[in-house]
Structure 1
Amino acid sequence: MNVLRSRLLHAVLILIIAYAIFTFAIRPPAPRSVLAIYMGVVILATFVYISSNSDSWRNFLRPLRDTLVQPERRLVRLAVVIAIPILLGYYAYTQAAAKAQAPPELRAVHPAPPASIQFRGKEITIQGFDNPLRKDQANLRKNIAAGGETYIRNCMYCHGDNLDGKGHFARGLNPPPANFQDPGTIAMLQEAFLFWRIAKGGPGLPKESTPWNSAMPAWEDRLTEEQIWQVIMYLYDATGQQPRRWEAS
């Protein structure tokens, strides 16, 4: 029973249970940065708990002090002295060791778009086509706001609320979701290109985009043509990017 009353045991159990809850019970999984913040709060609260009075603090330190000075715990001390360098060495090795990587393959990140696509039985021109909603300047802000609502409902979970590709599900995707804040993404693409990619998703990519393709689903069955154009307008407006223009033929 004395073991069960040990403040050291209480502290260890609290940390283990908290880590297990934050790691396995929260869905979608919290980012590592958020997990670190939560665990920091738990560690601080645990420290306050075990140091709430002098008796509790002495109870917490007693097993540690006994391990260091009691002759009958010599084997425990020896195990600790051996384990600490091994664990530190293993951590250093995992940080410095070369990571296994897929062999390099030729892959087109932004493949050439098709001349046109079929969207819900309607043929939509892609090459040379501009966002038709931009012609309606009177409703420009309204369309952008509607695109933002659609993005939050459907796209934020992967691409993130900051449009930086760090949404809740991003860690589980390979390749990771596009970072729209990166000037090397949508700023390099025409709006019609984005329409094709959003409408057809990963399944609509040509063979030259393998082996990784894209985890994005085809949104043509979930979003209307207008909603996709609105989302595209929102992406450019929220990131401050300008869509690439088609080159004059």
Structure 2
Amino acid sequence: MTATPAVRRYAAHPFWQAVAIMVGAYVVVVWVVPLLPGSAIVPKSVVLQYMVTVLVGVLIYVSDNEERWARFKEPIVAVLVEPRLRVARAALLVVVTALVGLIAYGQVATTVAAPPNLRSIHPAPPAEITFRGRSITLTGLENPLRAHPDSLAVYLAEGKSVYYRNCLPCHGDHLDGQGHFASGFNPLPANFQDNGTIAQLTESFVFWRVAKGGPGLPREGTPWNSAMPKWEDFLTEREIWAVILFLYDQTGWTPRTWEKTGEVGRGKGEGS
């Protein structure tokens, strides 16, 4: 099927090319990316970042050539100054004004919500949990992989693989909670480099939080529910213990133990 001259004219025009690219990018980021295997819904803040990046790229492209830049501006100038487009100009003014007003109203409008509860950053874990139907006692539990020091290198490599396949988008390449999806969540993903996170915790606590995720938080862990999924639905018990090994190895923190208490710090012999 051959395109009509009008369609070909629009397709060759830099302005409409730019519009098509922006629309196409939005469709891909919002609707196509979540359909990819292993992907998820892209947060609005991330969508905005991608769209700004695409817009900058489009503007660089159309302004790279004087003739292309002049053609790109033609429809914009026409809408703003030509008498024959007075109706379109008025409609655009109304739409833009209404859109700005709607956004402003959404920012300042009062909402009816229950009063917030005090939130515990590290709520007390249960004494026992079920993992894929099997009961696991958390009290006194240490990482079972540490009982095999000759295989720690293998477990660390496995944990690294698990982390980069599953945890990187939120917790970041440096384990600092600055992954490219991080800004879309409230609360932000945990910063494992901070001495207020895993440095204060036993490995059994971390296992519980990873396995049960946000849905497994007790009441005192709300109202800002963690967005972390229940990783027991995706990872084996060994994979979770392995990624916990990787977290402590990469950050340099020593996990707290059940035998004694003391000051937690970096390096060997400083854990509690």
Normalising by structure 2, we get a TM-score of 0.65
Counterpart position of 2:145: 133
Q: 2:59 pairs with 43, 50, 56, which one?
A: 43
1:16 equivalent to 2:23? Answer yes
Identity %: 43
C-alpha deviation, 1:88, in angstroms: 5.7
- C-alpha distance in structure 2 between counterparts of 1:203 and 1:34, whole Å: 29
- Aligned pair count reads 243
- For 1:26, the aligned partner's letter is V
- C-alpha distance in structure 1 between counterparts of 2:229 and 2:13, whole Å: 51
- C-alpha distance in structure 2 between counterparts of 1:122 and 1:75, whole Å: 69
Counterpart position of 2:108: 97
- C-alpha distance in structure 2 between counterparts of 1:58 and 1:123, whole Å: 70
SS in 2 for 1:219: helix
- C-alpha distance in structure 2 between counterparts of 1:43 and 1:194, whole Å: 47
- C-alpha distance in structure 2 between counterparts of 1:20 and 1:220, whole Å: 30
CA contact (8 A) 2:159 2:246 kept: yes
Q: 2:247 pairs with 226, 235, 243, which one?
A: 235
Consecutive unaligned residues in structure 1, runs of 5 or more:
none
- For 1:219, the aligned partner's letter is E
Consecutive unaligned residues in structure 2, runs of 5 or more:
1-5, 262-272
Deviates more, 1:107-116 or 1:174-183: 174-183
C-alpha deviation, 1:204, in angstroms: 4.5
Counterpart position of 2:158: 146
SS in 2 for 1:109: coil
Cα RMSD for the two superposed structures:
4.1
CA contact (8 A) 1:180 1:186 kept: yes
Counterpart position of 2:72: 60
Counterpart position of 2:191: 179
Q: Deviations over 1:157-203 (max 9, x none)?
A: 55444434465776776655433333322122111211233344445
- C-alpha distance in structure 1 between counterparts of 2:69 and 2:243, whole Å: 57
- C-alpha distance in structure 1 between counterparts of 2:76 and 2:130, whole Å: 70
